[in-house]
Amino acid sequence: MEYGNGEALLYSGGSFILLHEIGQGSFGSVTCARDVNTGTEFAVKYVPLEGTSENDEVIIPLGVFREIQALKQVGSHPNIVKLLHVKAHGLGLYLCFELGSTDLSEVLQGTTPLTEAKSLHIL
């Protein structure tokens, strides 16, 4: 993937540019992106789709389909990142999420064990 000054990808809310990789998800890489018009940053999960060319019928992995459906049903929840947009581009799918300040692995790597109350708050 090209970061920083690569092509702007269009989505229903405008267009965005990929900035830098945040990490790896179960289905693909997660990247920080910036909306070209507003400057708002968000997380983008890129999921490669099965197919040999853009003209082929592509197959969305079942787990990705279920993730999208579950996030749409949840809507807005304080402990779950919100799915903002889904964009098909070439042989990939871009899932755009609100950008969290940290991730669960960083919370769990803290120096002290989590209390039961803190664990329940996270869940």
Query: From the annotation, which residues make up the binding site?
Result: 45
Classified as helix, coil or strand, 50 is strand
Is residue 86 a contact partner of residue 93, using CB atoms and an 8 Å limit?
yes
Extract the annotated binding site for ATP. Answer: 45
Cα-based distances in Å from 64 to 36, 46, 68: 26, 11, 6
5-8: long-range contacts (C-beta < 8 A, 24 or more apart)? 8/36
* CA–CA dist 80, 122 (Å, integer): 10
Residue type at 57?
E
